[in-house]
Structure 1
Amino acid sequence: MHLSPAHDAHPREPGAEQFARAAEMLGLLADRTRLALLHLLGRGEADVTTLTAACGAARPAVSQHLAKLRIAGLVSSRKDGRRVVYALQDGHLRALVAEALNHADHEVSGIPRHD
């Protein structure tokens, strides 16, 4: 299911470029702190102080992870006075993170898998 009506009902077959970009993105998601940050940003915009308190990582580490995510185009940032506020770039990423966490919940809790 696509979150945007702009997508065709029948998506085209992915090519080498799509596989490469997806692998790059999934590699960024493979870090526990970055995954936690993306999950938190899926709830709404937040600054580094808020994200640091919520994910429990050290502030310099959170800043470095956010920089990597921003450079990769997965999050955006904007100035709000002296603060920098971060946000997810799109709903696809929010859905991907949610599905990964749902899958992990099934693994951890023993809930039967879906078909």
Structure 2
Amino acid sequence: MHTSLPDFDMPNEEQVHLAAETFRLLSDPTRVRVLWALLQGESSVACLAELARATPTAVSQHLAKLRLAGLVKGRREGTFVYYSAANDHVRGLLAQALFHADHLDRAGATTAT
């Protein structure tokens, strides 16, 4: 049925896997806070920990996962590492997720517990 649609195109397996992995990584509230803070500008682990209401150790672990997924990048300056969002795609992805969440909230939708 769908194959008869002229512009129908399913993503390939690698695209599906990488997209699902990205959503999995963004399923943690601390990671969402960290990424949002990084979209406002470059930051250190200590500053991100304060903004995300988490310990520096926890934020470092989250950043390591986000970096491996290509969502954040680090820049070393002496003994400090400053993190930033990897690119504008991250901004779009997170902005859309938060926009969607805002609309769910306004519609009175509840989150699963």
Provide the residue aligned with 2:15 in structure 1: 18
Please tell me whether residue 88 in structure 1 is matched to residue 85 in structure 2. Answer: yes
Structure 1 distance, partners of 2:79, 2:13, is 42
Task: Find the partner of 2:62 among 60, 65, 71.
Answer: 65
Structure of greater Rg:
2
Structure 1 distance, partners of 2:45, 2:35, is 13
* Cα RMSD for the two superposed structures: 1.8
Task: Mark the runs of 5 or more structure 1 residues left unpaired by the alignment.
Answer: 1-9
How many residues of Structure 1 are paired with residues of Structure 2 in the alignment?
Answer: 101
TM-score by length of structure 1 reads: 0.80
Amino acid at match of 1:87: S
Structure 1 distance, partners of 2:77, 2:106, is 40
Give the SS at the match of 1:85.
strand
Task: Give the structure, 1 or 2, with the largest relative contact order (CA under 8 Å, sep 6 or more).
Answer: 1
Task: Find the partner of 2:36 among 22, 36, 39.
Answer: 39
Residue identity (%): 46
Structure 1 distance, partners of 2:106, 2:79, is 42
Task: Mark the runs of 5 or more structure 2 residues left unpaired by the alignment.
Answer: 1-6, 109-113
Off by >6 Å, runs of 4+ in structure 1: none
Structure 1 distance, partners of 2:104, 2:70, is 30
